[in-house]
Structure 1
Amino acid sequence: MNPRRKQRLFATTSIILLVSAAIGIMLYSLSDNVDAFYTPSEIIEGKDKTGIKPTLGQRLRIGGMVVPGSVSRDAETLAVSFDLVDVGPSVTVQYQGILPDLFREGQGIVATGTLKDSSLIVAHEVLAKHDEEYMPPELAEKMKGIKHVPPSEATY
Structure 2
Amino acid sequence: MESSEQMANRFREVILNGTWIANTNYKAQLADVDWVQATTKIASFNTIAALTSHVHYYIAGILNVLEGGSLAIRDQYSFDFPPITSQEDWEKVLSRFWEDSEKFAHLVEQLSESMLKESFTDRKYGSYQRNIEGMIEHSYYHLGQIVLVKKMTQEIHR
Higher RCO by CA contacts (8 Å cutoff, separation 6 or greater): 2
| Rg comparison, structure with higher value | 1
More strand by share: 1
Asked whether the two chains share a fold, i.e. TM above 0.5, the reply is no
TM norm structure 1? 0.28
TM norm structure 2? 0.27
